[in-house]
Amino acid sequence: MSIRYKVVSVERMSVMALGNYQLAYPPGQVVSADAETLGITVFRTLENARKFIWNSLRPGKHLYLIVKVKPIGRGKRVRLVSLFRNSKSLTDFYAGRWVEKCPPPEGTLCYKAVEVLS
């Protein structure tokens, strides 16, 4: 069983996607991504998750948790993601409209579903 790491807020909500795309990650639950999205974004290693908090969420790094998840299905690497995490940017990204894009953070994998272990 491979373990991956998900960065969430202290309220256990996703921080990689906001608004309509934001999901809750309660312990012991299976969380599934919408079919039209890239999937649930997780990190391959604990160190990758820590670097993401430090480099991308630095202003409030004390407001985040790293939870262990068990991936369901096969993970995929993505080449580009929306630079911005708000609902409008993500809706435009998934609709194929122009948005600013960037490579995902180091160690990023996407899964259609995960089981939250911690």
- Give, for all 118 residues of the chain, the pLDDT tens digit: 699 999 999 999 998 888 888 999 999 999 999 988 889 999 999 999 999 888 887 666 568 999 999 999 999 999 988 878 778 888 888 788 898 988 999 999 999 999 999 8
3-state SS, residue 38: coil
| Per-residue pLDDT, 94 | 75
- Pairing between β-strand 81-82 and β-strand 101-102 as defined by DSSP bridges: antiparallel
The number of beta carbons lying within 10 Å of the beta carbon of residue 81 is 21
Nearest to 8 by CA among 51, 34, 41, 35: 41
pTM above 0.85, yes or no: yes
CB of 48 within 8 A of CB of 105? yes
